[in-house]
Amino acid sequence: MTAQPRGTPPALAHNLRYNKILHEHVIVLSVFTGQTPYVAAKDQLSVEKLGNGVYDIRIRYGFMQDPNVPETLNRARSMGVEMDPEDTIYFLGRETIIVTERPGMAMWRERLFVLMSRNSVRATAYFRLPLERVVELGVQVEL
């Protein structure tokens, strides 16, 4: 999963760098929340086959909907995506934000931002990902 719809997702790059493998089937998944309260099921999923078992999938939810990524992603099988829902592993990038004295944001604002970030709902819970099939690859980000 990635928040950046363009380029190589950092979690995929880290996995390639450290494990030196590319899985047989790779789905680059981006989830978006729209400006409308609800997105119809037929409009939630878009699939682009990039070749060699790699797919770019985008899921859209309305701001009033509760995301259920595994359920929505399972519908991609009917669109030609080769995947086994029971064998799917979700690789997530996890950013740890660090307060620094660099110029820019005021220190109290940085600390407040870090506090709010640490107290936010984890992606695994928000997207209803099965915990036993999630791998988080972390990076530290300095403010």
Q: What is the pLDDT of residues 12-59, one digit of tens each?
A: 877 788 878 788 888 989 999 999 999 999 999 999 998 888 899 999
DSSP single-letter state for residue 69:
H
Nearest to 15 by CA among 139, 98, 126, 122: 139
Three-state SS at 18: helix
Identify the pLDDT of residue 4. 66
The answer to whether 92 touches 134, Cβ cutoff 8 Å, is: yes
> Is residue 112 predicted with pLDDT exceeding 80?
yes
Would you say the C-alpha torsion 123, 129, 131, 133 has a positive or negative sign? negative
* Alpha-carbon span 68 to 127, nearest angstrom: 5
Cα dihedral value 10, 16, 18, 21, nearest 10: 150
* Alpha-carbon span 26 to 92, nearest angstrom: 13
* Alpha-carbon span 68 to 63, nearest angstrom: 13
Structure confidence at residue 70 as a pLDDT band (50, 70, 90)? very high
Nearest to 69 by CA among 79, 77, 61: 61
Considering the entire predicted model, what is its pTM? 0.77
Identify the pLDDT of residue 3. 67
